[in-house]
Chains A and B, each alone.
Chain A
Amino acid sequence: SQTIHQWPATLVQPVGSPLSLECTVEGTSNPNLYWYRQAAGRGLQLLFYSVGIGQISSEVPQNLSASRPQDRQFILSSKKLLLSDSGFYLCAWSWVSVGNTIYFGEGSWLTVV
């Protein structure tokens, strides 16, 4: 079966500090990978998606970036965090075919202070 792991689960970071969130998927190959953000009391916003190693598409311009160094690894980064970056970050995966369900990791709670 397929599993998705995401870490760290929670973190508190000062404004201007860097960020790195990691996500790995097991039990499948060449998945589509996604990063979503959910701000407090708001819906899920797609930040980045990837259809293959080194292929990243950004949905929302911001001070965040994503990378996919390996087939089943997806990393979300920032060089300098802003207060507005606080939120619940969710990594997700799906099979490649259109219409397939997206499955989420357990999420990372980020508080920028």
Chain B
Amino acid sequence: RKEVEQDPGPFNVPEGATVAFNCTYSNSASQSFFWYRQDCRKEPKLLMSVYSSGNEDGRFTAQLNRASQYISLLIRDSKLSDSATYLCAVTSSNNAGNMLTFGGGTRLMVKP
């Protein structure tokens, strides 16, 4: 089993739709959680951190479910510009530092 898993998609949705992605992780000792956005042939950029209580940033809502070991990203009122690959990332501490493990990404395509 992969340490961090995502449905690769693609998720094809119309403009204005609400779409949600999940990301499961296998290490119950995982401490920090993030969502990154990656545009085609570009570097991943931090979209938002995921806090235990859940957090919202405009049209984006991230939630953490420790019992079931998954995080989610909800996008409301999808825009064409939301088309990208969304990567979840999980940090587990080790003796050396801050190790970030990524899921394979979920591709989102928003259509007019």
A residues lining the B interface (CB < 8 Å): 32, 34, 36, 42-44, 46, 49, 51, 57, 88, 90, 94-107, 109
Contact = CB atoms under 8 A, between A and B. Distances in A.
Interface stretch (B12-20, B38-46, B70-78): B38-46
Contact of B96 (A36, A49, A103, A106): A49
Tell me whether chain B's interface is mostly helix, strand or loop, or mixed: strand
A37 B87 CA distance: 14
B25 interface: no
Contact of A106 (B31, B34, B43, B91): B43
Interface of B: 31-32, 34, 41-46, 49, 87, 89, 91, 93, 96-105
Contacts of B31: 98-99
B43 A104 contact: yes
Contacts of A88: 41
A42 B43 contact: no
Contact of A107 (B42, B101, B104, B105): B42
Given A49-B99, A88-B41, A100-B98, 9 more contacts: A43-B105, A46-B100, A94-B100, A99-B31, A101-B46, A102-B89, A103-B46, A106-B42, A107-B42
Contact of A109 (B41, B46, B96, B99): B41
A101 to B, nearest CB: 5
